[in-house]
Structure 1
Amino acid sequence: MKYVRFQKDNQIFYGIVENDKVMKLEGDLFGKYAKTDVQYDLEQVTLLAPCSPSKVVAVGLNYRDHAKEMGEALPDVPKIFLKASTCVIGPEEKIVIPQMSKRVDYEAEIAAVIKKTAKNITADQAGEYILGYTCLNDVTARDLQKSDGQWTRGKSFDTFAPIGPYISDEIDANGVDIKLLLNGEQKQHSNTSNFIWKIEELVSFISQVMTLLPGDVITTGTPSGIGPMKQGDCVEVVIEGLGTLRNYVE
């Protein structure tokens, strides 16, 4: 299934994408819902961020090529941090560069969306708690991240977590191609087979730290090739089987 959250006639709904059509759902994707007979062409609706997480949990280093790029040894345990829920925006929305930052970077990532409350689960159990996967751009004020030492400010400005265009349960998330295009030019390219920790291991590890709630997002780190964006840029996260998350910078 490919799940979306969309706006139509000033109302917000969940839906399922089939053959470039959006089938409207009645109810809550993370609770009880039912399919309806109402369908729209994709062009007739506005796709939103596919979920509204209580938190976005991010992993600081999870690709072997990125660790090499940063000159860092492979960590013994995942480095995790939080991005504010107010960072989240959807496809085609604008990333706003804050006045207090002189360098804002893109980071292409694949993210898991939690289906049901998870606490102290094992990696073998994790698949039961994942609704599916989506594209995420872990936008970062790099200068502030470095100056602060801890990452909350540099990672949590409004608009710093574009997510979408949908959530899919149809891929092997530990073995897909991932790219970032800046104004059509490829800047990042790797495969999630280069993960240090598989997604199920990350979900398990994080669930031992904090309770994961339905709709929460776990984003799994970025490959090598990170770099800055500027006003007027078009930035696209392209993941095999998940499509393209496109945003613009202002």
Structure 2
Amino acid sequence: MKLASLQSGGRDGRLVVVNRELSQAVAVPEIAHTLQQAMDQWSLAEPRLQDVYRKLQAGQCGDAFALKVEDLASPFPRGYQFLDGSVYLHHMEKARKARGAAMPNNYKTEPLMYQGLSDRYCGPREPMRLPGEEFDADYEAEVAVVLDDVPMGTNAEQARKHIKLVMLLNDYTLRALTKTELPKGFGFMQAKPTSSFSPVAVTPDELGEAWDGFKLSLPLISEVNGRRMGQPNAGVDMFFTYPDLIAHAARTRSLGAGTIIGAGSVSNQDERSGFGCIAEARIHEELAYGKAQTPFFRFGDVVRIEMFDARGQSIFGAIEQSIEAA
């Protein structure tokens, strides 16, 4: 099943069920007005939404309409909680090396995670607006999961059943600010502006054999200004899994329905897969050529992130955003 939110629904969007081809949609106010409302009562809403999805696929929804991605907000235009991990240790090692920081002693025993901005997310086609070009803005191509209510103390085995939706994520990072912000010891604040998510969120059953309950094993493609940056496989070199991240976050608190957890910029040790962010490309260039050649974002640049299934069908739709002045 694929779900999205129309911008026309106000600050929290208007929930629609989307067909597999991302070409048609149908509103479902009789089930839930927003995706967050559906998450709050997922055990009741999910089977009803799945029934609508089956009818939409069969062409049996008379009130279906042609879907335009430009009309969509983020699946969750805002949320109660956004947590982002960094489980591709190859990426973490490179990112820290670039800013001259050492790896934490426990980085292989406990996932690295921060709590990010969640009161507003960018739509998949909405420009990313920044106050200036001097902050070395970068993208991070990620896969995120959405949870129902998770009790405190949930372990990794129990956590699998709480994953209800999967989305793509662009976790923007202002690299110039990480160098001064992280040494303070209080984590990200200014260095992490709002994030953006794919046009649709999908239930794990849509992912077939690529989803095993722990990770999604498909290439995640990213481009900047039409230039392919990389296509690392999200299921390769993943040191901690999504259930690991959930269990880590729930160790001392419960997680409310609609909590979003990302796993960090996808990065493979095989550099032939390319990169999931500009910073990694620059580190590679410095080692290979003695100087970074790929610039961080400038106003007018366009970033695109997308994932395809084995048949070549876009699963989530593409995040495609221009970088503009605020």
Instruction: Confirm or deny a common fold (TM above 0.5).
Output: yes
| Match of residue 26, structure 2, among 13, 23, 36 | 23
Instruction: Please name the residue that 1:201 is paired with.
Output: 244
Instruction: Please name the residue that 2:155 is paired with.
Output: 122
In the TM superposition, what is the alpha-carbon distance from 1:9 to its structure 2 partner?
7.8
Instruction: Please name the residue that 1:76 is paired with.
Output: 109
Which deviates the most, 135-144 or 208-217? Answer: 208-217
**In the alignment, structure 1 residue 40 sits paired with structure 2 residue 72:** no
Which deviates the most, 161-170 or 171-180? Answer: 171-180
**In the alignment, structure 1 residue 189 sits paired with structure 2 residue 215:** no
- Equivalent residues of 1:145, 1:153 under 8 A apart: no
Q: Name which structure has the greater RCO, CA cutoff 8 Å, separation 6+.
A: 1
Looking at secondary structure, tell me which structure has more helix per residue.
Answer: 2
**In the alignment, structure 1 residue 63 sits paired with structure 2 residue 84:** no
Distance 2:233 2:69 in 1: 33
Instruction: Please name the residue that 2:322 is paired with.
Output: 248
- Equivalent residues of 1:7, 1:45 under 8 A apart: no
Q: Which amino acid aligns with 2:84?
A: A
The alignment yields a C-alpha RMSD, in angstroms, of 2.5
Which deviates the most, 207-216 or 94-103? Answer: 94-103
- Equivalent residues of 1:134, 1:164 under 8 A apart: yes
Gaps of 5+ in 1: none
Which TM-score applies when normalising by structure 1?
A: 0.88
Q: Report the identity percentage.
A: 20
Provide the aligned length of Structure 1 versus Structure 2.
Answer: 247
Q: Which amino acid aligns with 1:242?
A: F
Instruction: Please name the residue that 2:74 is paired with.
Output: 49
Instruction: Please name the residue that 2:3 is paired with.
Output: 3
Distance 1:119 1:66 in 2: 29
Distance 2:112 2:6 in 1: 33
**In the alignment, structure 1 residue 229 sits paired with structure 2 residue 297:** yes
Ranges of 4+ aligned residues in structure 1 off by more than 6 Å: none
- Equivalent residues of 2:150, 2:250 under 8 A apart: no
For residues 118 and 48 of structure 1, do their structure 2 counterparts lie closer, same or farther at Cα, with a shift above 3 Å needed? farther
Q: What SS is found at the alignment partner of 1:236?
A: strand
In the TM superposition, what is the alpha-carbon distance from 1:203 to its structure 2 partner?
1.3
